[in-house]
Structure 1
Amino acid sequence: MKNNWQFFILIESLLFVYLIFQIFSTIPLMIAFVAGLVMSIWSLKNKFTKGYNNSFFLVLGGLLVVFVLLSTSSIWLMLIFAIFFFSISGSQLFTNMKNKNFSNAPWKRKSLVVVETSSTTEKNGKRMKRPWIGNERIGNAIYEWDDINFSIFAGDTIIDLGNTLLPKDESFVVIRKGFGKTRILVPVGVGVMIEHSAIRGKISFEGDSYTLKNETVKMYSDQYEESIRKIKIITNVLIGDIEVIEV
C-alpha cells in the first residue's frame, strides 16, 4: 500500500510540474493566472477594510485562477488519475481484510442472534437510491431478503448474505460497476452460480482465482444442483476484482 501511495504522489507531482509549465509557457494564461493570484492575495490582505471592492476582486481573482486551471489538460489528467487511483487502490474498506491472519475477521465470529419477526414489507414499486461513487456494505444488520440489482460508477462493495434468510429456489445479485472491488459473503450450504465479466480484473471463488482481460467467466459451486437455496451472482465491471467467500 505504501508503494501505491508513493506511485500516486510521484505521478501527481509530475503532472503538477507539467501544469506549471503549461501555464507559464502560454502568455495569455500566464497573465490571467498571475493577475488572479495578485487580486486574490491583495483582497485577502485587505479583508478588514470596509467596502465591497475587496470581495469583488477576491471573487474575480478566484474565477481567473479557476479558469486558467480548467483551461489546461494537465489538471484534467490529475483529476482523472486521482479518481482512478482511489477507485482501485485508495479504499481502506478492504485493507483490514487483506491481513494474513483472518482469525478476527467478522465472518469468523459466530454469535447467537434472536430475530424479531415482523410482517413482510411491500415490494411492489419499491425505489432505492444509491450513490454513484463511494464504498458500501450491504447486510450490516439483519434484513429481509430482496433481490439485489444496482449500478455504481466507482467504489468498493461488500454484500453479506449471512444476515438474511434466502428463500428456497433461486435468488439474484446483479451488479454493474465501473471501477472497484466486490466481496460477497455467502452462507454455507447455499449453491452459488457466478457470472463475471470484466475488461480487467480478478475473480476468486472456492479456492480458484482467474485474471480476466475483456473476458466473461461462469462458475458453479460444488453441489449447486442439489442445493435447496441458490444464489445467482451476475456482475459486469470495467476494472475491478470480485471475491465470493463462504461463511
Structure 2
Amino acid sequence: MRRWQLFLGIEFALLLWLGFQIITNPMALATILIGFLFLFLGMHWHRLRTFSVTFGGVLMVLGIFINPAIWLILLVAGIFLMMVLTKPKAGFSVWNHKQYVAPVTEAPGKKAGRRTIRSWARRQTIAPSYDWDDINMVVPAGDTIIDLGDTFLPKGDSVIMVRKGFGKTRVLVPVGVGVAVEHATFYGRLHFEDSDSMLHSQSVTAYSQDYDDAPRRIHIITNVVVGDLEVLAV
C-alpha cells in the first residue's frame, strides 16, 4: 500500500510539473490551445468533423509530448508497473513460469566448434560437457533459476553472464566454490553472503570469503534493468 501511495504522490507531483511546463512554454501552450479549438470545432461542425478532430488531437498530443515531464511520468509508471509484475506474491504476475537452467555434467569429449540456439520464450536446460561451457544468457523478462548443485565445476575460473530486462535471477552454487559477483541494475536487490544490498542505478562487485583459496571459482556477471539477484550456497 505504501508503494502505491508513493507512486501516486510522485505521479501527482510530476503532473503538476507538467502543467507548469505547459503554462511557461509558449509553443506547447499555443499548440494545445489550437488543438483544443479544432476539437471543439470538430464536435460542432459536421462538414469537417473528421479532419478537425484528428488534427486537433494530433496538436494536443504534440503539445503535451514536447515537455520533458511527460516522458518522466511514463518512465516512472513503467518502472513501477514492472516492479509490481515481478513481485512473487502478485496474483496477476506474468512471470509465474520461471526459467530453470540446470547444467548437467557429461563424459569428456573432443573440443569442437558448435552452434547452440537458446530460446527467449520458454524454459531451457543447458547441458554443458565435463569441461564446462560458460553460460551467456539474454532474457527479456521473467524469473531465472540457475542451479549448479549437481554440476562438477572444473578447477579454475568459470563464468555465468546474464543480461536481463526485468525479473529476478537466482544462482545456486555448490558449497566450497569461490564466488565473485558483478551486479549492475537500475533498481533491484542483491542477496549474497547472507547480506542484502539495495541498488539504485548502481553496480556492485563482491567476493565470497573463500574466493582467494578456492580451487574452483565462479564469476557471476549480471546486467538487469529492474530485478533482484540472489546467490545461494547449496
Which residue matches 1:244?
231
Q: 1:63 to 1:125 in 2, by over 3 A?
A: farther
Q: Which moved more, 1:53-62 or 1:235-244?
A: 235-244
CA distance in 2, matches of 1:44, 1:127: 55
Aligned mates of 1:23, 1:187 — CA distance in 2 = 54
Which letter maps to 1:205? F
| Structure 2 unaligned regions, length at least 5 | 91-96, 99-111
1:74 to 69, 92, 112: 69
User: What is the match of residue 177 of structure 2?
Assistant: 191
List gaps (5 residues or longer) in structure 1: 98-105, 108-121, 131-135
1:124 maps to: 114
Cα 1:27–1:238, aligned 2, differ >3 Å: closer, same or farther?
A: closer
Partner of 1:101: none
Q: Which residue of 2 aligns with 1:34?
A: 33
Q: Distance in 2 between matches of 1:238 and 1:141?
A: 22
**Cα gap change, 1:192/1:91 in structure 2, threshold over 3 Å: closer, same or farther?**
farther
Distance 2:209 2:144 in 1: 19
Counterpart CA distance in 2 for 1:184 and 1:55 is 54
> How far apart are 1:218 and its partner, in Å?
2.0
Which residue of the partner structure matches residue 218 of structure 1?
Answer: 207
Work out the CA distance in 1 between the residues paired with 2:147 and 2:183: 25
Report the CA distance between 1:219 and its aligned residue: 2.2
- Deviation at residue 241 of structure 1 after TM alignment: 3.9
Q: How far apart, in 1, do the equivalents of 2:197 and 2:176 lie?
A: 22
Which residue pairs with 1:160 in the alignment?
Answer: 145
Q: Structure 1 residues 26 and 231 mapped into 2: Cα distance closer, same or farther (>3 Å)?
A: closer
Quick one: structure 1 residues 21 and 234, their matched pair in 2 at CA, closer, same or farther if it must change by over 3 Å? Answer: closer
Task: Provide TM-score, normalisation by structure 1.
Answer: 0.59
Cα 1:190–1:66 shift into 2, 3 Å: farther
Distance 1:204 1:171, change over 3 A: same
Matched residue count? 209
Percent identity of paired positions between Structure 1 and Structure 2? 22
TM superposition shift of 1:6: 0.9
User: 1:1-247 alignment to 2 at 5 Å?
Assistant: 2-40=1-39, 43=42, 53-86=48-81, 90-96=83-89, 124-126=114-116, 140=123, 142=125, 144=127, 147-150=134-137, 157-162=142-147, 166=151, 168-169=153-154, 172-176=159-163, 182-186=168-172, 191=177, 193-198=179-184, 202-210=189-197, 215-219=204-208, 225=214, 231-236=218-223, 241-246=228-233
State the shift of 1:69 in Å.
1.0
The one-letter amino acid paired with 1:172 is V
CA contact (8 A) 1:195 1:217 kept: yes
Shift of 1:192: 5.6
Name the aligned partner's letter for residue 220 of structure 2: I
Q: Distance in 2 between matches of 1:160 and 1:189?
A: 17
Q: Secondary structure at the match of 2:84?
A: coil
With normalisation by structure 2, the TM-score equals 0.62
Change (3 A) 1:184 1:210: same
1:7 & 1:238 partners in 2: Cα distance? 20
Shift of 1:10: 1.0
